[in-house]
């Protein structure tokens, strides 16, 4: 493990992903508190979605500014496993059933178009981002999964995807049935994203880092956003931040999840050359990547809702799974990243349902952020430029699907409602400060007050108000990432209380323990 190493690529976590190794992020522009420009487009969030959208709009003649609350690629883009697929977490049989076969064909076209866009950018800007076309295997391990696999094969073919039966699965794991998707891919997400930022800057775009937007208004056809004293104005506003800030319908339509990834050195050369996926719940995914001359097995899985299960256990389970199937020499990297599962399976891309026609969002990508983030750039670009978009209706954030995903929607809301009530009003076990181990955090009751308490390696204790500043749920400590995670809508805070992941826009309040009487 080399998670203590300093790296100029930063992430919303105390762990370091394989992508951060040896990489310097591009320089941002200096902030100008008195910037009087009315930009054509304000893009909030410099992950893959925001970066790609900014570049495309700037090239289309719009004056854009990309505004990042932390540093470029700080969120999920720096922690993805960077698969490029034209099949998705919402399978084609599920899309057929919930949206119809025409929708499946459109989703398939969207996947192919996103891949073409990535590949065109790589060629146009000569980006050295390890882009490789790969075969991808999906395999079953029991009769029930094999039945599902047969349905996936049929519906995927029907949607126009190149897929067929296979007699191998790409990994040393026994299987029942397998299918092979052609023309899939992988790349290095930060090398790619950073190169797009450079292209955006060369085209005249501006990039601000450490500019966390905490307030936004829309008056006289102009958006104004604030970050402390810095104020920026624009005719259009895009939230490429997963969930837009504030309490809104997207918080209820998307459930936050964390996925866990290991970068593993093997004792032999059994590194997968293809992409592979099993069909367990949650599924495991496998690929390999060469970083600074060393090949790593990239193994992911053990996903769970943010702030619910134990991240340490997820890493342990993943490592045990790796050791069962591979000859592990060393687990060199381990990290996790956040993604959002949409209520009805498809992402929400387009006009903000509670905003105006000049406010846009892109979220609910499930585990397919590289593809849907790129497709979002295409869709939002077309909407802003006034072009016809064949995808706009299907992915509209205002769509109402009373049947598709309805039960999940109810379940997610029930879960959120439970946390609203239970976290605020139930009595928690009272812990004494001395029982907290170094490097750990706990919610405790201290003199009738609920506190989020963290003890650092030197034994120093810090305390925060554990009430999430978004909608009042109680945060939970994430031992692996050293963060406070909210179980309701996935807001995350550093051990100092600083917002790491929206939708909260305000930090947790810090307490001085000596003043608590």
Distance CA 92, CA 78 (A): 28
User: Helical H runs in 386-504?
Assistant: 392-395, 406-425
Closer to ligand FES by Cβ: residue 188 or 476: 476
Given candidates 471, 499, 500, 508, which one binds ligand FES under the rule CB under 6 A? 471
In the shown chain, the binding pattern of residues 423 to 442 toward ligand FES, with x for contact by CB under 6 A and - for none, equals --------------------
Strands 359-363 and 230-239 turn out to be parallel
Q: What angle do CA 97, 108, 155 make, to 5 degrees?
A: 40
Measured distance CA(252)–CA(239) in Å, rounded: 17
Give, for 463, the enclosing helix (H) or strand (E): strand 461-464
Q: How many residues does the chain have?
A: 517
289 is an interface residue for ligand FES by CB under 6 A: no
In the set 486, 495, 499, 500, which binds ligand FES (CB under 6 A)? 486
Which listed range, 47-55, 78-86, 365-373, 489-497, lies at the site for ligand FES (CB under 6 A)? 489-497
Binder of ligand FES out of 362, 380, 503, 507 (CB under 6 A): 503
List, in order, residues 6 or more apart from 198 with CB less than 8 Å away. 26, 125
CA 100 – CA 103 distance, rounded (Å): 5
Q: With respect to ligand FES, which residue has the nearer C-beta, 17 or 251?
A: 251
Q: Is 244 in the site for ligand FES (CB under 6 A)?
A: no
Q: Does 491 bind ligand FES (CB under 6 A)?
A: yes
Q: Can you tell me which residue has the tokens 């009805």?
A: 344
Q: Which residue matches tokens 């992988």?
A: 186
- Per-residue binder mask for ligand FES (CB under 6 A), 41-80, x = binder: ----------------------------------------
Report which secondary-structure segment, H or E, holds 154.
Answer: helix 143-158
CB atoms under 10 Å from CB of 467, counted, come to: 18
How wide is the angle at C-alpha 114 spanned by C-alphas 109 and 116, nearest 5°?
95
- Interacting span for ligand FES (CB under 6 A) from 26-34, 70-78, 166-174, 469-477: 469-477
Q: Report helix, strand or coil for 316.
A: helix
Q: Specify the residue, 464 or 488, whose C-beta has the smaller distance to ligand FES.
A: 488
DSSP 474: B
Q: Which is nearer to ligand FES, 112 or 498 (CB)?
A: 498
Q: How far is the CB of 115 from ligand FES (least distance, A)?
A: 33
Q: How far is the CB of 307 from ligand FES (least distance, A)?
A: 8
Tell me the β-bridge partners of 139.
178
In the complex with ligand FES, which residue's Cβ is closer, 200 or 348?
A: 348
- Give CA–CA dist 98/35, Å, rounded: 47
Binding of ligand FES at residue 284 (CB under 6 A)? Answer: no
Does 473 participate in binding ligand FES (rule CB under 6 A)? yes
For residues 503 and 514, the answer to whether their CB atoms sit within 8 Å is: no
SS3 464: strand
Using rule CB under 6 A, residue 455 touches ligand FES: no
> Exactly one of 82, 353, 504, 511 binds ligand FES (CB under 6 A); which one?
504
Tell me which DSSP letter residue 245 carries. Answer: S
**Among the residue ranges 133-141, 185-193, 349-357, 485-493, the one whose residues contact ligand FES (CB under 6 A):** 485-493
**Does 489 engage in binding with ligand FES (CB under 6 A)?**
yes
Q: Which two tokens mark 515?
A: 């003043």
Q: Is 470 in the site for ligand FES (CB under 6 A)?
A: yes
Q: Per CB under 6 A, which region of 22-30, 309-317, 397-405, 466-474 contacts ligand FES?
A: 466-474
- In angstroms, what is the minimal distance from the CB of 245 to ligand FES? 10
Tokens of 310: 């134990």
Q: How far is the CB of 468 from ligand FES (least distance, A)?
A: 3
137 pairs with which residues across the strands?
180, 276
Q: On the CB side of 53, how many CA atoms lie within 13 Å of its CA?
A: 39
Per rule CB under 6 A, is residue 468 in the interface with ligand FES?
yes
Residues 71-130 that bind ligand FES (CB under 6 A): none
User: Which one of the spans 266-274, 310-318, 451-459, 471-479 is the region binding ligand FES (CB under 6 A)?
Assistant: 471-479
Pick the closer one to ligand FES by CB: 95 or 468.
Answer: 468
Please tell me what DSSP assigns to residue 42: E
**Sole binder of ligand FES in the list 488, 495, 500, 508 (CB under 6 A):** 488
Name 476's bridge partners: 485
Residues 361/250, Cβ–Cβ less than 8 Å: yes
Site string for ligand FES, 248-267 (x = CB under 6 A): ---x----------------
Applying CB under 6 A, the residues found at the interface with ligand FES are 251, 468, 470-473, 486, 488-491, 503-504
């Amino acid at each position: 493990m080399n998670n203590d190493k300093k790296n100029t690529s930063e992430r919303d976590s105390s762990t370091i992903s394989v992508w951060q190794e040896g990489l310097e992020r591009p320089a941002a522009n200096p902030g100008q508190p008195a910037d009087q420009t009315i930009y054509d487009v304000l893009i909030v969030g410099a992950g893959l979605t925001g970066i790609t959208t900014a570049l495309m709009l700037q090239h289309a003649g719009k004056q854009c500014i990309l505004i990042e609350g932390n540093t470029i690629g700080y969120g999920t883009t720096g922690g993805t496993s960077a698969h490029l697929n034209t099949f998705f977490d919402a399978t084609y049989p599920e899309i057929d059933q919930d949206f119809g076969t025409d929708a499946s064909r459109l989703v398939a076209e969207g996947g192919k178009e996103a891949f073409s866009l990535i590949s065109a950018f790589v060629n146009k800007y000569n980006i050295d981002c390890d882009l490789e076309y790969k075969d991808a295997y999906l395999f079953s391990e029991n009769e029930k999964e094999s039945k599902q696999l047969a349905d996936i094969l049929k519906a995927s073919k029907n949607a126009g995807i190149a897929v067929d039966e296979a007699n191998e699965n790409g990994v040393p794991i026994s299987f029942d049935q397998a299918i092979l998707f052609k023309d899939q891919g992988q790349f290095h997400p930060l090398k790619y994203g950073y190169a797009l930022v450079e292209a955006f800057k060369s085209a005249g775009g501006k990039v601000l880092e450490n500019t966390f937007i905490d307030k936004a208004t829309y008056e006289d056809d102009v958006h104004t956003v604030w970050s402390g004293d810095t104020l920026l104005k624009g005719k259009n506003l895009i939230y490429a931040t997963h969930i837009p800030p504030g309490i809104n319908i997207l918080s209820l339509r998307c459930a936050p999840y964390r996925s866990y990834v290991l970068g593993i050195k093997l004792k032999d050369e059994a590194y997968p050359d293809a992409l592979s996926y099993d069909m367990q719940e949650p599924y495991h995914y496998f690929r390999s990547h060469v970083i600074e001359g060393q090949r790593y097995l990239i193994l992911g899985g053990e996903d769970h809702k943010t702030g619910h299960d134990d991240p340490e256990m997820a890493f342990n389970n993943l490592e045990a799974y790796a050791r069962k199937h591979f000859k592990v020499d060393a687990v060199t990297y381990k990290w996790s990243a956040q993604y959002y599962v949409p209520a009805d399976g498809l992402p929400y891309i387009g006009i903000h349902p509670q905003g105006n026609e000049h406010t846009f969002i892109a979220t609910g990508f499930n585990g397919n952020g590289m593809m849907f983030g790129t497709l979002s750039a295409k869709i939002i670009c077309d909407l802003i430029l006034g072009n016809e978009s064949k995808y706009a209706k299907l992915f509209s954030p205002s769509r109402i699907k009373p049947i598709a995903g309805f039960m999940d929607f109810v379940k997610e809301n029930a879960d959120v409602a439970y946390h609203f009530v239970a976290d605020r009003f139930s009595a928690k076990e009272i812990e004494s400060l001395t029982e907290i181990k170094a490097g750990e955090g706990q919610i405790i009751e201290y003199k009738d007050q609920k506190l989020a308490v963290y003890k650092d390696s030197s034994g120093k204790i810090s305390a925060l108000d554990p009430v999430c500043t978004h909608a009042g749920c109680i945060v939970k400590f994430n031992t692996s990432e050293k963060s406070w995670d909210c179980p309701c809508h996935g807001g995350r805070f550093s051990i100092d209380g600083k917002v790491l992941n929206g939708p909260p826009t305000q930090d947790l309040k810090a307490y001085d323990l000596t003043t608590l009487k």
